[in-house]
Amino acid sequence: MNVKKMTTLSLIISVAMILSYIESLIPAFVAVPGVKVGLSNIATVFALYTLGAPYAIGVSLVRVLLSSLLFGTVASLIYSLSGALFALVVMITLKHINLFSEIGVSIAGGVMHNVGQVVAAALVMSTGAIAYYIPPLIVWGIIAGIAIGIVSGLLINRLKGKIGRIK
């Protein structure tokens, strides 16, 4: 990792942090835990397409850790971390098989993030009852994923040339 790449990575992580902060200001608007826009996923998808999978993992995990420390609780760290890991695995895999665009990858990421959170919550609270939240969370993950995918796609296309020169 050269200095330029490291700087770009840091820049993307700071953007992710700002997005996390903005997200934390949005009040919960649906009575289902975990329903969020997932703005910071823009940074993860962007890093995945411009810098590559290892950088996307870095952006996502550092973001989760820092934003839980700053805006969340220990409980929220566990849920976010599980969601982030599920999302990363699926997004990296889908990008690799090259069948979907940024939107499809982002949809899968949004849905899996929510599924990961439910799985973590089911384990933490030792109850399968939380599975009731899966249908609304899947639908919400699709909606948020489309929005995040469109924004990420635009950013990737406009900035790819500049990031490319860094490599």
Catalog residues that contact other proteins under the rule CB under 8 A.
Answer: 27-28, 31-33, 73, 75-76, 79, 99-104, 107-108, 111, 121-122, 124-136, 138-139, 141-142, 146, 149, 153-154, 157
Nearer to other proteins, 9 or 148 (CB): 148
Torsion sign, CA atoms 133, 136, 142, 146:
negative
Q: Which CB sits closer to other proteins, 44 or 106?
A: 106
Nearest to 10 by CA among 72, 66, 78: 66
Question: Minimal distance in Å, beta carbon 38 to other proteins?
Answer: 15
Task: Give yes or no for a contact between 61 and 14, defined as CB atoms under 8 angstroms apart.
Answer: no
- CB closer to other proteins out of 33 and 52: 33
Compute the least distance from the CB of residue 6 to other proteins, in Å.
29
Identify the burial level of 87 via C-beta atoms within 10 angstroms of its C-beta, where 0-12 means exposed, 13-18 middle and 19 or more buried.
Answer: buried
